A and B are shown apart, each in its own frame.
Chain A
């Protein structure tokens, strides 16, 4: 079992992902392609290997995903959606290629998805989720267009999703879930409205996600998982309560989920790796901005970091 972050393994794992056209799974996941590129790019950036993927090809691919009716789709020919639109913006920013973007059109697409209740739909079909609200807030902030957002309405919706345990759900009435606590708390951080959060209760709920293995689960009495570990970790980081869990034990848990042969990180020890868990596993260990889920140095440089602290580099030597 690896006790260090296997950077070169992970870099080559991510590089190979783009060349797996001979695998059925590659084609069955085309609806997540742009998100996958964002995960892969973020991971190589925080591992200090931003050049591991071709910049020109990547930018061209992102621009091919533009859907004239609705922002960016996940793949050329796929429908636009808020999830892939945020990924596109994040990629273009990390590649310093925002000049390719028709900012006004993207912004008006994003704003058109806000519902009277304040939440955002993912696309014109109307599925609502606090994750989409976060995508909108994050994207508008990255584009410097937050002043166009009705903040009161947006915050009002998040407030109505708050539960007695301090957490937040996917919509009004839904159970608290780490994967929803993160977007709500991060959106509030961007909007300067963390006063909505009951720090002590939520901090308690979050730190109780850590299980004896060191990994964290997403809800009470569920299994631990590398991705949930990240949602909890980044939420705790935004609340400045990272010390409320045992970071060393968590580090060990994430490292144990690595594939020491092929590279990549799985949801937990012994399972199949994927690029999503690879990114969020690495993200839990090295310098990531917990609010925007992008390299901390970049967010710092853009002047977007406020009261929260970046997830610092853990003491793990790489080989």
Chain B
């Protein structure tokens, strides 16, 4: 159970609640037992299907009943239905699960059922457009995920599902449009690490496929990040993304440039832990990878100073700073 306030109830109040629940329990158990016994006797009728709707509306976490519902479709309904009828039923199930998601956006089984629905959209509407229904369904699906992400921009079920939809669409979206989407999410809230993460994945895939090179988007991304840093220097999301942009630290010029830029922000915000943490990390990379072009002794001392400051302002993680200080000495 997450985020449900505990209210103190007197024993009288508890008794009264239990009494009120009694009728609901009887009704619920009668329905659940009916559905489970129909399942055992392999009842694949439309009536059984409707009973699963009722039960799942009360309890969308009842995974066995979702399974049974799909089996009713596969064993009973689909074999005797026209493609039009199957498509209609699937569309209805997508509406049904959408309504369920509005109330229970984090129930795995509802998301799973949608995947199954989309994978069972039949060919049609006609010979000349066999992919028509599929295309329309997957397009609509992307709009559905966006709606859920509008309600909770960090819902990881929705983000995973979004990636699944993007990978499954018969007509795939361009990576550029996904970059635009993540930019929109980030601009409406810099603190949305899920969107930063998605952005890093899209860029990685563009780079891996050879369509894009780091230098082509480096400047633009650093600008976006800079903007976010200045807006809220305490937000972890942007700093973590910045570390992705810096990669393994092979580019010494980039490291030096970013150290200088972050130092400017630190001068304005002398208590900013994340400014210190990032400068420290990049200086450590300089020491590890570019020791021939930096003044090792001076940079090591700067690292030790930063570590002392970090330890003072961020005592929960003091041992990590001590471990790093010891590692600097060994460099």
Contacts and interface: CB of A to CB of B under 8 A. Distances in A.
Most buried by A among B1, B21, B28, B315: B1
Interface in B41-82: 58-59, 61-64, 67, 70
Nearest to A131: B108
B326 to A, nearest CB: 13
Contact of B200 (A164, A171, A174, A267): A164
Given A23-B21, A165-B240, A173-B163, A221 B6 contact: no
B307 to A, nearest CB: 13
Nearest to A20: B18
A272 B6 contact: yes
Contacts of A267: 1-3
Contacts of B315: 246
Contacts, number: 135
Interface string A1-43: 0000000000000000000001110011111100000000000
B193 interface: yes
A171 B108 CA distance: 14
Contacts of A245: 316-317
B146 interface: no
A204 B154 CA distance: 21
A214 B160 CA distance: 29
B22 A31 contact: no
Given A27-B28, A28-B28, A271-B6, A219 B193 contact: yes
Interface in A228-271: 241, 243-246, 249, 259, 261, 266-267, 270-271
A170 B156 contact: yes
Nearest to A242: B319
| B: contact size bracket | 35 or more
Contact of B25 (A22, A210, A219, A272): A22
A125 B21 contact: no
Contacts of A273: 1, 6
B320 A222 contact: no
Most buried by A among B25, B32, B156: B156
A78 B58 CA distance: 17
A77 interface: yes
A206 to B, nearest CB: 10
Given A77-B64, A125-B70, A271 B3 contact: yes
Contact of B67 (A79, A163, A270): A79
Interface in A134-188: 163-165, 169-171, 173-177
Given A173-B163, A220-B236, A221-B236, A207 B156 contact: no
Contacts of B61: 28-29, 31-32
A272 B67 contact: no
B76 to A, nearest CB: 17
Interface in A59-83: 73, 77-79, 81
B237 A221 contact: yes
Contacts of A246: 315-317
A282 to B, nearest CB: 16
Interface string B1-21: 111111010000000001001
Contact of B62 (A31, A176, A271): A31
B36 A266 contact: no
Contacts of B2: 225, 267, 271
A225 B64 CA distance: 29
A27 B1 contact: no
A224 to B, nearest CB: 12
Given A163-B197, A165-B240, A221-B236, A79 B63 contact: yes
Interface string B257-290: 0000000000000000000000000000000000
Nearest to A172: B163
B120 interface: no
Contacts of A204: 320
Interface string A201-214: 00111011010001
Contacts of B323: 244
B24 A127 contact: no
B292 interface: no
B319 A24 contact: no
Nearest to A212: B316
A277 interface: yes
Nearest to A26: B25
A255 B317 CA distance: 21
Contacts of B256: none
A164 B1 contact: no
A221 to B, nearest CB: 5
B33 to A, nearest CB: 9
Contacts of A73: 64
B27 to A, nearest CB: 10
9 contacts: A27-B29, A164-B244, A170-B156, A174-B156, A221-B235, A241-B320, A266-B1, A270-B5, A274-B1
Given A31-B64, A220-B240, A221-B154, 6 more contacts: A27-B29, A73-B64, A127-B112, A169-B160, A173-B163, A208-B317
Interface of A: 22-24, 27-32, 73, 77-79, 81, 123, 125, 127, 163-165, 169-171, 173-177, 203-205, 207-208, 210, 214, 219-222, 225, 241, 243-246, 249, 259, 261, 266-267, 270-274, 276-277
Query: Nearest 6 CB-CB pairs, A to B?
Result: A243-B319, A246-B316, A220-B236, A272-B4, A78-B64, A244-B320
